[in-house]
Amino acid sequence: YTEYLDEIDKGQIENTQAPEIAINYWNLSKDATLRDVVIAVRNDEAGHRDKNHLIADDLDSV
């Protein structure tokens, strides 16, 4: 996600208006952009990562 954000910031990928489905799903502002969506997805994935590590740690202790 960081590389994707870098490409948006460098203008290599157009920072278009966020799709309405993404705005609704992540509760973004109505003027959200692709960059905002990528950040929301990255944060969401980080949450999944953390939960998966907690589950794995619990399994290791069994």
pLDDT at 49: 56
pTM metric for this prediction = 0.75
pLDDT at 45: 83
Reduced DSSP (H G I as helix, E B as strand, rest coil) percent helix, strand, coil of the chain, to 5: 65, 5, 30
Q: CB–CB of 26/42 below 8 Å?
A: no
> pLDDT digit string (tens) for 44-61?
886 655 565 566 666 677
Give the chain's largest Cα–Cα span: 49
Q: CB–CB of 29/2 below 8 Å?
A: no
Backbone angles phi, psi at 6, to 5 degrees: -60, -40
Q: Which of 54, 61, 10, 17 is nearest to 36 (CA)?
A: 17
Q: Which one-letter DSSP state was computed for residue 17?
A: B
> pLDDT digit string (tens) for 5-42?
999 999 999 999 999 999 999 999 999 999 999 999 99
